């Protein structure tokens, strides 16, 4: 027992500080991906609902591809493929030196692309749910299209989309575990390395599960608090 | 779909093409290693890389007066990440095989060690012929010379490939595997340490030059010829002046430059 | 030439031709793994949903704990925990005669996937059962039906219709998530692709795998959509 606790201790002989550092990378990656993925998802959703056939087809192809590919595969393709593309583009500009895409950014892009595909569905649902009357009312007040979107639709959008986006967040949190394959020292990476050195898989993978669980459970609590806050002043037809 | 794949194939081809002019003076090198292959390279509980290759290459860097930084990269992606310029050199116990030379160049050899089978202590026969191991489960790390060797000669055995060598060792200890094939010195660490109650050496294999190549070198991108030559020169010098041996003796009890 | 070498030959990509057979074999393993675990997971998941809805309080708490754990942690961590963790408890598993199962990587992966998907499916079933209007229960009782036949003949069929779409989504998610099986020595589609890439260093094998995954996922989605439309054809569509 003492030996096992020693393995989890802080400092040079234990893996506690490494796991904590990994957990920090996991949570930073998820947080950094979130705004990027959600914003891209909203753009895709707006394209999905646009009148232009081209925009709609692009959106459909995009969501089909990124919802259909295993995240592990997307990660490999972005990490290795995009890096080469980026460098090629950089060289084509004739600028000196080279543009390096850090693993963190590659992870962010790959996870963000997937998040955008899934969150676009939530956005579309939320956009559809906002009554047409809202838009007509805004036009009647003399607001133009962008103004209507920014001042009338967007504030309501978050409230409606929140539960779905909350689910997206929980999925994202767990998907970060795949980035260890692209040399990003996240929680799963350090857990694997600790297992390699100590040969105590149950202890370390169990510990990793508990840490992820902690993130998930506290996210769930945070999300329900957020949902309550966003629903302030909104009559929920007796569903309380 | 067809177009998509064509584009993909074109993108893949670019990986090999050279994009950047060679810098005149090399002052900084980024080195990629696996960090899961003790005692050659390993990430320890301090979160630091340690091992023969770390000490040895750092010594070379001092001598060449270049600043070296290390990156730990999982084995599976170690060559693709070199090609994607995540680092400039691989020092990770990588044998300079013909298969790899299609994609990367190798420096002079700095380590050439025997390869061995280990097994559970209950195994009494030292026979490692493919016929004797027919139907047995053999494990090793994927994308290695050992994986290729098993595939070529041990067709009737059940071959299992792992992301790291240590995971194969762990599964031998657990009893999922009957045999493990790997570098003798890496296995020695396991057999005399965590695996001392379960496992033992069975026998060394005969090298197959077509598969194993001349030994372990550092890998660089094909276009980085100046870097390759600089490293090769430093390696040859260190072997001549005994500084290679000094570091090797710190980590190993037998020579790592066997014939 | 084998049929599985044709796509590579037709595309003119050597790596895809050389490793085509392995990749298609991997695809077969992926489908087996997913079919088995989603099928078993459905039975187990339905049982969990019923326990959570109608079981005694302590049982409900246990089911909640179970679903929270499996839905709150990454599948990758669960697979490693079961695969390597089982090895650590070998003496015990040997004693109760279960080691022969846990020795096998396919079993470990299928076992973990089943437990994982059961947790998600339990939530789907629970939501679907709750969504059936209370009036259906009351009407059934008024007709003198006992609880169990009432549930099986009246409630469950309606609940399953509601559950159909999320179950299809879960199937698709499992097809994709099953790629982590490649990390515990299995040559599923992802495993075979990684092997092909490690040997050929040709990124196009990843794109070929991507096309195969997309094909499977889209086929499932289409077939599922047709099935759903057929099963719910008596309902008026809005």
- Residue A71's nearest CA partner among A172, A164, A168, A170 is A172
Among chain B residues, the shortest Cα distance to A89 is held by: B19
Work out the mean pLDDT of chain A and round it to a whole number: 88
Specify if A118 maps to a domain. yes
What is the pLDDT at residue A239?
A: 45
Residue A235: band (very low, low, confident or very high) from pLDDT cuts 50, 70, 90: low
- At B15, the pLDDT band (50, 70, 90 cuts) reads very low
Query: Once rounded to an integer, what is the mean pLDDT over residues B142-167?
Result: 94
Backbone dihedral region for residue C144 (phi beyond 0: left; psi -120 to 50: alpha; all else: beta): left
Q: How many domains does chain A have?
A: 1
Confidence of residue C1 (pLDDT cuts 50, 70, 90): confident
User: Residue C22's pLDDT is what?
Assistant: 93
Contacts of A85 in chain B (CB under 8 A): 11, 14
**A36 lies in some domain:** yes
Determine which of C207, C211, C216 to mutate to test the interface with B (most B C-beta atoms within 10 Å): C207
DSSP B1: -
Among C76, C196, C215, most A C-beta atoms within 10 A, so best to mutate, is C76
* Per-residue pLDDT band at A106 (split at 50, 70, 90): confident
A194 interfacial to chain B (CB closer than 8 Å): yes
**3-class state of residue B138 by DSSP:** strand
Nearest to C68 among A72, A77, A217 (CB): A217
β-partners of residue B104 are B221
φ and ψ at A199, to 5 degrees? 55, 40
Closest by Cβ to B36, choosing from A21, A80, A193: A193
Domain ranges of chain C: 3-231
What ipTM was reported for this prediction? Answer: 0.88
Q: What is the pLDDT of residue A2?
A: 80
Residues 6+ apart with CB under 8 A from B88: B29, B30, B31, B82, B220, B221, B224, B227
Q: Is the peptide bond before B39 cis (omega within 30 degrees of 0)?
A: yes
* pLDDT class of B99 with cuts at 50, 70, 90: confident
* Closest partner CB to C85 (pick from A64, A201, A212): A201
Q: In terms of CA atoms, which chain B residue is nearest residue C8?
A: B5
Average pLDDT of span C223-228: 90
Is the Cβ–Cβ distance between C13 and B9 less than 8 Å?
A: yes
Residue of C nearest to B103 (CA): C201
- pLDDT average, residue stretch A219-223: 94
Residue among A84, A90, A107, A203 with most chain B CBs within 10 A, to mutate: A84
What separation in angstroms does the CA of C45 have from each of A220, C55, C59, C131? 22, 14, 14, 17
Residues 6+ apart with CB under 8 A from A172: A30, A33, A34, A37, A111, A115
Say what the pLDDT of residue A76 is.
Answer: 83
Is C207 close to B8, i.e. CB distance below 8 A?
Answer: yes
Residue bearing tokens 């071959």: B159
> Does residue C88 surpass a pLDDT of 60?
yes
* Residues of chain C neighbouring A65 (CB-CB closer than 8 A): 210, 214
Nearest CB to A76; choose among C89, C176, C206: C206
Contact in structure between B172 and B119 (CB atoms under 8 Å):
yes
pLDDT of A240 higher than 60: no
Residues 148-207 of C with CB under 8 A from B: 183, 185, 194-195, 197-199, 201-204, 206-207
Q: Residue B48: closest CA among chain A residues belongs to which residue?
A: A12
Answer yes or no: is A113 within a domain: yes
Judged against a pLDDT cut of 60, whether residue C101 lies above it is answered with: yes
**Which among A69, A175, A206 is the nearest to C213, CB-wise?**
A69
Contacts of B174 in chain C (CB under 8 A): 84, 86-88, 90
- Is the pLDDT at A104 greater than 70? The verdict is yes
- Asked if residue A82 has pLDDT above 50, the reply is yes
Check residue A234 and give its pLDDT: 67
Separation between Cα atoms, residue A95 and residue A82, nearest integer Å: 19
Per the DSSP assignment, residues forming a β-bridge with B161 are B140
Q: How far is A91 from chain C (nearest CA, A)?
A: 21
Spell out the SS3 assignment of chain C: CCHHHHHHHHHCCHHHHHHHHHHHHHHHHHHHHHHHHHHHHHHHHHHHHHHHHHCCHHHHHHHHHHHHHHHHCCHHHHHHHHHHHHHHCHHHHHHCCCHHHHCCHHHHHHHHHHHHHHHHHHHHHHHHHHHCCHHHHHHHHHCCCCHHHHHHHHHHHHHHHHHHHHHHHHHHHHHHHHHHHHHHCCCCHHHHHHHHHHHHCCCHHHHHHHHHHHHHHHHHHHHHHHHHHHHCCCCCCC
Determine the pLDDT at residue A54.
96
Q: Residue B11 has what pLDDT? A: 46
3-state secondary structure of A235: coil
Handedness of CA B63, B68, B72, B77 (dihedral sign): negative
Question: Which among C11, C198, C204 has CB closest to B143?
Answer: C198
Residue B104's alpha-carbon distances to B81, B86, B159, C8, in angstroms, are 12, 14, 27, 25
More confident of the two residues B73 and B93: B93
pLDDT at C237 (0 to 100) = 54
Alpha-carbon span A128 to B119, nearest angstrom = 63
What element of type H or E holds B135? none
How far is Cα C39 from Cα C18, in angstroms, rounded to an integer? 33
Contact yes or no for B84 and A80 at CB 8 A: yes
Provide the percentage of residues in chain B whose pLDDT is more than 90: 75
Residue C149 class from Cβ within 10 Å (0-12 exposed, 13-18 middle, 19+ buried)? exposed
Chain centroid to Cα C138, Å, comes to 35
Residue A4, in any domain of the structure: no
> Is residue C65 within 8 angstroms of chain B, CB to CB?
no
**C217 touching A (Cβ < 8 Å):** yes
Question: Residues of A near C (CB-CB distance < 8 A)?
Answer: 64-65, 67-73, 76-77, 80-81, 170, 174-178, 188, 191-192, 195, 200-202, 205-206, 208-209, 212-213, 215-217
Q: How far is CA A237 from CA A234, A240, C238, in A?
A: 9, 8, 22
Q: Which domain holds residue A128?
A: 18-230
Residue among B222, B88, B108, B92 at smallest CA distance from B145: B92
Interface test with C, best of B2, B4, B5 (most C CBs within 10 A): B5
- The highest-level CATH class for domain C3-231 is mainly alpha
| pLDDT score recorded for residue B24 | 54
Q: How many residues does chain C have?
A: 238
Give C117's pLDDT tier (boundaries 50, 70, 90). Answer: very high
Which is nearest to C181 in space by CA: C172, C169, C197, C193?
A: C193
Pairwise CB contact (< 8 Å): B20 & A18: no
pLDDT at position B13, please? 43
Among B2, B5, B176, the residue with its CB nearest the CB of C103 is B176
Minimal C-alpha gap between C233 and chain A (Å): 23
A195 touches chain B (CB under 8 A): yes
Task: Name which of A165-169, A180-184, B36-40, C222-226 the model is least confident about.
Answer: A180-184
Residue A126 lies in a domain: yes
- What strands, in cross-sheet order, belong to the sheet with B49-50? B36-37, B41-43, B49-50
Is pLDDT of B21 > 50?
no
Nearest to C208 among B5, B139, B160 (CB): B5
Cα dihedral sign, B55-B61-B65-B68:
negative
Q: Indicate which CATH number applies to the domain containing A152.
A: 1.10.3720.10
Residue A7 within any structural domain of the chain: no
Residues of chain B with Cβ-Cβ distance to C84 below 8 Å are 167, 170, 174
Average confidence (pLDDT) over C106-127: 97
Contact across the interface for A73 and C213, Cβ inside 8 Å: yes
Confidence of residue A79 (pLDDT cuts 50, 70, 90): confident
All domains of chain B in start order, with CATH: 26-112+214-251 (3.40.190.10), 115-210 (3.40.190.10)
Tell me what pLDDT residue B205 has: 95
Residues C76, A188: C-beta atoms closer than 8 Å:
yes
| B202-248 residue pLDDT tens | 999 999 999 999 999 999 999 999 999 999 999 999 999 999 999 99
What are the b/e assignments for B129-148, b being 16+ CB within 10 Å? eeeebeebbbbbbbbbbbbb
Size of interface A-C (CB pairs under 8 A): 108
Is the pLDDT score of C40 beyond 80?
yes
Query: Which pair of structure tokens corresponds to residue A130?
Result: 């906002």
Domain-embedded: residue A51? yes
pLDDT band at residue B23 using 50, 70 and 90 as cut-offs: very low
Tens of pLDDT, residue by residue over C133-162, are 999 999 999 999 999 999 999 999 999 998
SS3 (DSSP) at B70: strand
Does the structure show a pLDDT above 90 at B259?
no
- Stronger pLDDT, B71 or B12, i.e. the higher one: B71
Give B80's contacts in chain A (Cβ within 8 Å): 80
Partner B, chain A 104-163, Cβ-Cβ below 8 Å: none
Answer for the pair B114, B259: CB distance below 8 angstroms, yes or no.
Answer: no
Query: Does residue A43 form part of some domain?
Result: yes
Rounded to the nearest angstrom, the minimum Cα separation between B84 and chain A is 6
User: Looking at the complex, does the CB of residue C165 fall below 8 Å from at least one CB of chain A?
Assistant: no
């Amino acid at each position: 027992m003492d030996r096992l606790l020693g393995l989890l201790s802080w400092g040079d002989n234990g893996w506690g500080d490494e796991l904590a550092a990994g957990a920090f990378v996991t949570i930073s990656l998820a947080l950094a991906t979130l705004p990027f993925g959600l914003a891209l998802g909203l753009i895709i959703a707006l394209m999905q609902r646009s009148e232009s056939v081209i925009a709609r087809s692009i959106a459909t192809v995009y969501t089909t591809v990124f919802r259909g590919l295993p995240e592990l595969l997307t990660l490999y393709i972005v990490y290795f493929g995009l890096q080469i593309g980026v460098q090629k583009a950089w060289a084509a500009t004739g600028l000196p030196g080279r543009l390096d895409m850090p693993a963190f950014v590659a992870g962010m892009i790959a996870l963000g692309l997937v998040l955008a595909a899934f969150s676009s569905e939530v956005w579309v649902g939320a956009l559809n749910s906002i009554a047409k009357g809202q838009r007509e009312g805004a036009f009647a007040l003399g607001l133009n299209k962008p103004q209507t979107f920014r001042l009338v639709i967007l504030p309501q959008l978050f409230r409606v989309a929140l539960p779905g986006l909350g689910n997206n967040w929980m999925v994202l949190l767990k998907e970060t575990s795949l980035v260890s394959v692209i040399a990003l020292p996240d929680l799963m990476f350090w857990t694997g390395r600790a297992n390699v050195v100590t040969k105590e898989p149950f202890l370390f993978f169990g510990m990793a599960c508990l840490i992820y669980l902690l993130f998930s459970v506290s996210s769930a609590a945070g999300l329900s608090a957020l949902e309550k806050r966003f629903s302030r002043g909104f009559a929920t037809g007796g569903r309380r | 779909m067809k177009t998509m794949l064509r584009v993909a194939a074109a993108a893949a081809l670019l990986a090999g093409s050279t994009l950047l002019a060679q810098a005149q003076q090399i002052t900084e090198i980024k080195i990629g290693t696996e960090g899961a292959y003790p005692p050659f390279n390993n990430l320890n509980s301090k979160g630091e890389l340690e091992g023969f290759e770390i000490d040895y290459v750092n010594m070379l860097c001092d001598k060449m007066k270049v600043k070296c930084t290390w990156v730990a990269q999982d084995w599976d992606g170690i060559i693709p990440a070199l090609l994607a310029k995540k680092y400039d050199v691989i020092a990770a116990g990588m044998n300079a095989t013909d298969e790899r030379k299609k994609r990367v160049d190798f420096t002079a050899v700095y380590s050439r060690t025997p390869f061995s089978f280990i097994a559970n202590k209950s195994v009494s026969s030292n026979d490692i012929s493919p016929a004797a191991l027919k139907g047995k489960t053999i494990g090793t790390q994927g994308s290695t010379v050992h994986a290729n060797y098993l595939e070529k000669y041990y067709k009737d055995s059940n071959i299992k490939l792992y992301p790291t060598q240590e995971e194969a060792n762990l599964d031998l200890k657990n009893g999922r595997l009957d045999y493990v094939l790997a570098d003798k010195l890496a296995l020695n660490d396991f057999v005399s340490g965590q695996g001392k109650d379960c496992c033992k050496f069975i026998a060394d294999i005969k090298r197959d030059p077509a598969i194993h190549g001349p030994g372990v070198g550092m890998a660089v991108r094909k276009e980085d010829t100046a870097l390759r030559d600089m490293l090769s020169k430093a390696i040859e010098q260190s072997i001549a002046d005994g500084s290679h041996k000094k570091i090797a003796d710190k980590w190993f009890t037998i020579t790592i430059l066997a014939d | 030439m084998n049929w599985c070498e044709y796509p590579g030959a037709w595309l003119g990509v050597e790596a895809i031709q050389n490793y085509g057979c392995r990749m298609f074999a991997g695809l077969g393993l992926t489908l087996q793994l997913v079919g088995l675990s989603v099928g078993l997971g459905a039975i187990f998941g339905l049982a969990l949903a019923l326990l959570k809805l109608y079981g005694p309080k302590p049982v409900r708490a246990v089911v909640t704990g179970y679903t929270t754990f499996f839905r709150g942690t990454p599948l990758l961590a669960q697979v490693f925990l079961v695969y390597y963790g089982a090895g650590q408890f070998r003496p015990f598993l040997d004693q109760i005669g279960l080691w022969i199962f846990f020795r096998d990587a396919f079993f470990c992966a299928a076992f973990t996937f089943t437990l994982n998907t059961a947790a998600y499916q339990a939530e789907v079933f629970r939501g679907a059962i709750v969504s059936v209007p209370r009036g259906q229960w009351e009407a059934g009782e008024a007709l003198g039906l006992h609880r169990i036949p009432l549930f099986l003949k009246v409630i469950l069929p309606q609940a399953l219709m509601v559950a159909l779409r999320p179950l299809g989504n879960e199937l698709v998610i499992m097809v994709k998530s099953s790629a982590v099986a490649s990390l515990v020595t299995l040559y599923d589609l992802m495993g075979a692709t990684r092997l092909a890439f490690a040997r050929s260093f040709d990124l196009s094998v990843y794109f070929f795998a991507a096309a195969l995954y997309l094909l499977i996922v889209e086929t499932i989605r289409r077939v599922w959509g047709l099935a759903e439309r057929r099963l719910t054809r008596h309902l008026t569509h809005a």
